[in-house]
Structure 1
């Protein structure tokens, strides 16, 4: 029996109860499921991931904790349709096929997942074989995101990956034989990486004729191993810039277009899940450290769950919402920044009407800040769209910062 909580606990004393927004039509809704474990944690990673021997993961308890987490969230999204599911981490492919199957079965039982919904799962090439990948597909996964990062064994070793070149090649081939929609994750500006080395990676990506590519500049994030022990052979800034300049031209040769700051795709293969994020859609996150953004007709809330996997499991199964460490309403003053932080990542921008649709507020609330962005030539004076200029695209952080309250 599914129990629906009828009261949502307000955990922030600064919640604005006088919120006067009105959202006529609620945004599309996605589901994110966080799997917190990896075989080993990469030295550049600042995600909520924890090294653990797969044989020591109690998948039964974890699955039950996810169920409890989801049940306690149902009141927030009751009777809404789901356009996408993303199982991320961490390393989701560290789990057994049986557990992934049960996660998807649970989601189908509790939620209205649309027949054409995008169901993505992240895969580490060092944790799968063809049989396991086939099992994930048979469970309902219709899009794989393969965490390749590089095809060069030396590069992979320097960034702490557990797979090698052959593992990556095998995983991509296997995924493409199973589903049409495959994303490859690639990084650049890696320790010791040269231009020629990076071009080799791009050529391999092109040889697979992949439908989607996510590509990231290695960033040294606080509280990571690399932040404490900086690699001595990071490429010079000019070299990194040259690598970045190569990406668009090289990928254009196989019909891939940049549609988001870190994403390229062929026609029809933009990530439904990620585009929902970037167009200020709604998402419910379950699992340790997962975040949510949920709209109602008169308010928008954000939630954050406990990061520690063991503590999250313990709290989630108490069925009293104690696994949620933050639950706040987004104030009218914060909404312009929240909206612009996301939509300006899209190369083609978004309709100005979307601001009203997603926030319930008039565009006039941003008039002063928009004028600043126009004057600095960071935002295009387009009457129909919010779209960054080439300068704004280059200095995106500066453009987004204008809209901070």
Structure 2
């Protein structure tokens, strides 16, 4: 079956944060010494976009960007006028959907009173707050620079500025956290009435401070009990689970992340950003990522040195790449999407599908790929079964 171009998004990486958290394995760099040249970075971002549009040619020509996501790091370190300048530059280069979802991640410890008005005026219509917990002791253990009261004040300030689409990031299975503590975090989040909650387990990632010096974390059974209890509490409050770690009020799912999970296309610009594009003419799926360190990225705006890696995804890796995303969706995806997004025939995964269904990991619904509750609990095993 021929490859069909899916929706296109834009991911923008802002690599700086006030302080690197001990659990974080993202490409983020704590502020030290002289403040970064934020305006120069915006210039480099637009040069990066120009170069990608030129390099990808027909694969992006004439396509519309349906969502934009500023991730980090801490994008709210960038003043609203710089975000405005960048978005104006994007709109002058590519078609952006009139109702495009434009998300900016923000840390409650970096926001300034009045800034939310500026972000809204610039075109940012969705905010994502990195709360993680409403327990001050847990926040200290996580290395966060804000308190629970500051987090609540920041969210209310954004709502007062006119934001009606807000996500709160929460973590569970924190150091020495109890089930009651995890549920208390959910209760305080729901009380703020966000439209979306991302609720995910703290894990020890390689090359982090926590991996080198692990804190005392709840065991797997206790972590699973927290997940189930919090999932139930969020559901009772009107937040439907639509992805392993994502819960939303009706019609408030994150469109940008949905495009990832459906194996959509996205341009990735900024230090360490990753992108993925479907080249219909060649029938290949291509990935490109940018050099990680901000200084190296800024050294030659738009130059070839900004590229950390580039090339097509091998055909024998595509089933795993696709399932790594699609199987996170609670409702699943149509089986036909596999061929449309990878260019491979469904027969390529027939044996793996049969085995997963026999083990009770996938629902016995041939037109759909959908994990069962058992499959959701052992999702890593399910996904790994599609490795060639």
Taking structure 2 as the reference length, the TM-score comes to 0.95
Q: Give the Å deviation of 1:235.
A: 2.7
Residue 285 of structure 2 corresponds to 300
Count of equivalent residues: 381
State the SS of the aligned residue for 1:185.
strand
Q: Give the Å deviation of 1:55.
A: 5.8
Q: Give the Å deviation of 1:356.
A: 2.0
Residue 48 of structure 1 corresponds to 27
Given that residues 292 and 308 in structure 2 are in contact (C-alpha distance below 8 angstroms), is that contact kept between their aligned partners in structure 1?
Answer: no
Q: What pairs up with 1:277-292 in 2 under 5 angstroms?
A: 277-292=260-275
Query: Quick one: which of 187, 193, 203 aligns to 1:209?
Result: 193
Residue 47 of structure 2 corresponds to 68
Question: Structure 1 CA distance, aligned partners of 2:303 and 2:270?
Answer: 15
Question: Structure 2 CA distance, aligned partners of 1:85 and 1:228?
Answer: 35
Given that residues 54 and 95 in structure 1 are in contact (C-alpha distance below 8 angstroms), is that contact kept between their aligned partners in structure 2?
Answer: no
How big is the alpha-carbon RMSD for the aligned residues of Structure 1 and Structure 2? 1.4
Q: Give the Å deviation of 1:239.
A: 2.9
Q: What pairs up with 1:5-404 in 2 under 5 angstroms?
A: 22-23=2-3, 25-53=4-32, 56-75=35-54, 76=56, 77-177=60-160, 178-231=162-215, 233-297=216-280, 298-315=283-300, 317=301, 319-404=302-387
Q: Give the Å deviation of 1:152.
A: 1.1
Q: Give the Å deviation of 1:96.
A: 1.5
Specify whether residues 372 and 238 from structure 1 end up closer, same or farther in structure 2 by C-alpha distance, changes over 3 A only.
Answer: closer
State the SS of the aligned residue for 1:110.
coil
Given that residues 39 and 54 in structure 1 are in contact (C-alpha distance below 8 angstroms), is that contact kept between their aligned partners in structure 2?
Answer: no
Specify whether residues 63 and 244 from structure 1 end up closer, same or farther in structure 2 by C-alpha distance, changes over 3 A only.
Answer: same
State the SS of the aligned residue for 2:304.
coil
Q: Which runs of 5+ in 2 are unaligned?
A: none
Q: Give the Å deviation of 1:238.
A: 3.5
Instruction: Report the more deviating stretch, 105-114 or 373-382.
Output: 373-382
Question: Structure 1 CA distance, aligned partners of 2:202 and 2:323?
Answer: 24
Question: Structure 2 CA distance, aligned partners of 1:198 and 1:323?
Answer: 41
Q: Give the Å deviation of 1:53.
A: 4.7
Residues 203-254 of structure 1: CA deviation (Å, up to 9, x unaligned): 11121222110011110111100111111x3234443222112111111122
Question: Structure 2 CA distance, aligned partners of 1:95 and 1:195?
Answer: 37
Q: Give the Å deviation of 1:63.
A: 1.3
Residues 107-156 of structure 1: CA deviation (Å, up to 9, x unaligned): 11111110010000001000013301111111110000011001111111
Given that residues 152 and 192 in structure 2 are in contact (C-alpha distance below 8 angstroms), is that contact kept between their aligned partners in structure 1?
Answer: no
Residue 13 of structure 1 corresponds to none
Question: Structure 2 CA distance, aligned partners of 1:278 and 1:296?
Answer: 19
Question: Structure 1 CA distance, aligned partners of 2:128 and 2:159?
Answer: 11
State the SS of the aligned residue for 2:154.
helix
Q: Which runs of 5+ in 1 are unaligned?
A: 1-20
Residues 47-76 of structure 1: CA deviation (Å, up to 9, x unaligned): 000001596111121111111111101132
Residues 285-313 of structure 1: CA deviation (Å, up to 9, x unaligned): 10000001001212210011100110011
